[in-house]
Every structure is written in structure tokens, then in C-alpha cells.
Amino acid sequence: MKVTTWNINSVRLRASSATQILKTIEPDVLCLQETKCPNELFPYQIFKDAGYPHIAVNGMKGYNGVALISRVPFRTTKVLNWAGKEDCRHISATFNNQIELHNFYVPAGGDEPDIEKNEKFEHKLKFLSELTDWFSSERKPIDPMILVGDLNIAPLESDVWSHKQLLKVVSHTPVEVEHLDRLMTASRWVDTARHLTPEPEKLFTWWSYRSRNWNIANKGRRLDHIWVTPALKKLITESTVLREARGWEKPSDHAPVTTDLR
């Protein structure tokens, strides 16, 4: 199973870019975040015409939203809500090969890394804690699972352009990294990108819109992840970032990330 995850930053604005990704990468499943589209307005037909007839969405108007676009059928799909909000940040599916895939859009967390001053940051940490508790109680590491999405955290020093300058910037603060580490430990998740490309090599998936010369400056962060449980670790054969997509016309600020399980 080849899986691609991409924060599309509006599926209706970038549906053509998504189909270009399907042609370029040819994943079995494309997982989208930040679709910003209610379910009834999702552009289903453009993906069906591209050979991906199995589509599950959890969307809302203008914000958040996640989707699974697959050329192989789902056996079941499910949506869960987290941290007391119904804000369309999760969707999962189980396939005929027994693999359960979870697609998440973790809250960004605002600008101030202080739960006393910033409700958005508190929401982010609560969201991550609930994920940790849920996987610990409802699933086992021996279950064949994949967790993907825009997790909005760059956990390692080599996942950001400057560890020292970003230590107090939301997405790379120690408290966020600690929460993400707890989630990873809960189900002994394997970070597929770092499994094949260990530190200290730099890996980025996001470059700010504020940087006109983003490709030259390369002030990126690795916010988009694909993890698998130990049951699938031996199947990891490839992990890539389609960096060129960040330079397409009207791009998302995220690049697609792909893991191939053979």
C-alpha cells in the first residue's frame, strides 16, 4: 500500500493539483487535510474521473476538514471528535488487507506557547493527550495501523531550519515535542521518514508563504508525518517528499509526503 498525505489548504482551490499528485505519485490512498469544504460541496467527481472512486470526507465550511481518496475500497470508515470540539480533524478507514488508517489534522496551536494565555495552544496539547489515551486504550501496537497527517509539530532538531531560533516558536517547542513523543510511544509508532532517513539529515515538508524565495532560503519545518505500527515496520520501502509541488502555481504551503509499504 502506497499512502500520500497532503495539507491541501482548500480542496476546491487545488483539486487540479491533487489530481496532478495522483498522476505523479500514483498512491493507493491520498489523505488530505485542511480541505475547508463541507461534505456536500466536495469535488468528488474529479477524483472519481482520475481513477479514485472510494472517497470518505469529514468537512466543514471554511476551516479544517480531512478526506481519504482511494483507488482501493474501504471496508469501514469512521469519524471521531477530540478535545470537546466537532471541528473535522479526523477520519479513519479499514481496508480489506486489515490495515486501519487514521488521518489527522492536529490544531496549529496559535502563536503563543502558553496554555494560560492561549486557548488554541491548550486545545492542541489536549488534542494530543486524548489521541495518546485513545490509542493506548482502544488499540494495540500489534494491530496493523497507519497514522498520517498534518500533525503541526516538527519534533527533531533536523526537522526545522534552526533548532535554536524555533525553540520558542509553536510547532517546535519542548512541550509540544514531549506530547508528540508520548503519542508515538503509546503504540510504538514508527516514523517512516526517519526510519529511512535518520538524523542529522534535514527533512522539511512545509515552507511559509511569507518567504518569497522559499526554495533558496529553505527555512522549512517537517510538520507532515506518516507513522506505522511495528506490525508494518518491515514493509517500509520508501519515503519521499514531493518538494516540487510547493513551487506549483497557487501552491499549498505544504508538500505531499508519501510512504510505500511493500
What CATH number does residue 120 fall under? 3.60.10.10
Please give the Cα distance from 224 to 153 (Å, whole number).
Answer: 8
Give 202-233 pLDDT, tens digit per residue: 999 999 999 989 999 999 999 999 999 999 99
| Position 99, amino acid | I
Domain that holds residue 255: 2-261
Q: Where are the alpha helices (DSSP H) in the chain?
A: 15-25, 44-49, 119-138, 163-166, 174-186, 192-196, 214-217
Query: What integer is the mean pLDDT of 232-259?
Result: 98
At residue 116, what is the residue type? E
**Count of domains observed in the chain:** 1
Tell me the average pLDDT across 132-148: 97
Average pLDDT, whole number, for the chain?
A: 98
The three-state secondary structure class of 16 is: helix
Model-level pTM? 0.98
Proportion of the chain in helix, strand, coil states, percent, rounded to 5: 30, 25, 45
What is the per-residue pLDDT across 25-74, written as a single tens digit (0 to 9) for each?
999 999 999 999 999 999 999 999 999 999 999 999 999 999 999 999 99
As to burial, measured by CB atoms within 10 angstroms (0-12 exposed, 13-18 middle, 19+ buried), residue 137 is exposed
Residue in the block written with cell 504551503: 253
